[in-house]
A = this chain, B = another copy of it.
Amino acid sequence: MPILEFLDYAGVAVFAATGALSASRKQLDIIGYLFLASATGIGGGTIRDLVLGVTPVFWVVNPNFIIVCAAVAIAVFLTSHLLESRYRLLVWLDAMGLSAYCVMGAAKGLAATGSPIVALVTGTLTATFGGVLRDLLAGEPSVLLRPEIYVSAALIGASAFVLASMLGLPLAVASALGVLTAFAVRGGALRYGWM
């Protein structure tokens, strides 16, 4: 599986898991899990494809992404009583999704337009929109308003990917660099309380 396709599945799966965990915290039923998992999992990529004019959007072209969201929602539904700290798991999975998706969004934006500025915006938007949508739908205060390094991590990860791509590094190397940079920044913020 090529690296970008892997990042797409990984981003969808972990964001879907955060949506399902949010449903769990709100004690919703299985349909609530499916709904929040799908909205969070595919929300960011959907808005990315829409603004780039890449339609039908990715999950209409390839419905496997829906199946991934549904499977993740059901798995979390069946096991969430086993989880000790759902919130802690949620934020770390969210960090992984953000790292995968800031690169994925930047790569699609760069491929579609050649503009590094558009790539930074689509990268940041793709990485953060799913989480913003999840918080809005679940009635939680948006992560945007908390004094945390969140959008910044997505922007920095997208910047690392775009810079590496402009310097001519291979796609796999640039992608890995972007993912690791974003995860280091977001993970550091979570672990050491950077703000």
Q: Is the CB of A121 within 8 A of B59?
A: yes
Q: Is the CB of B138 within 8 A of A145?
A: yes
What is the total number of copies of this protein in its complex?
3
Q: Which residues of B contact A28 (CB under 8 A)?
A: 144-145, 147
Determine if A141 is an interface residue (Cβ-Cβ < 8 Å). yes
Q: Is the CB of B26 within 8 A of A145?
A: yes
In the complex the two chains form, what is the Cα distance from A21 to B61 in whole Å?
37
Q: Is the interface of A mostly helix, strand, loop or mixed?
A: helix
Partner of A139, one of B57, B112, B124, B142: B142
Q: Is the CB of A35 within 8 A of B117?
A: no
In the complex the two chains form, what is the Cα distance from A49 to B53 in whole Å?
10
Question: In angstroms, how far is the closest chain B Cβ from the Cβ of A3?
Answer: 24
Partner of A60, one of B52, B59, B136: B52
Given known pairs A31-B155, A32-B151, A142-B139, the reply for A53 and B57 (CB within 8 Å) is yes
In the complex the two chains form, what is the Cα distance from A67 to B115 in whole Å?
12
Q: Which residues of B contact A115 (CB under 8 A)?
A: 60, 63
Question: In angstroms, how far is the closest chain B Cβ from the Cβ of A173?
Answer: 25
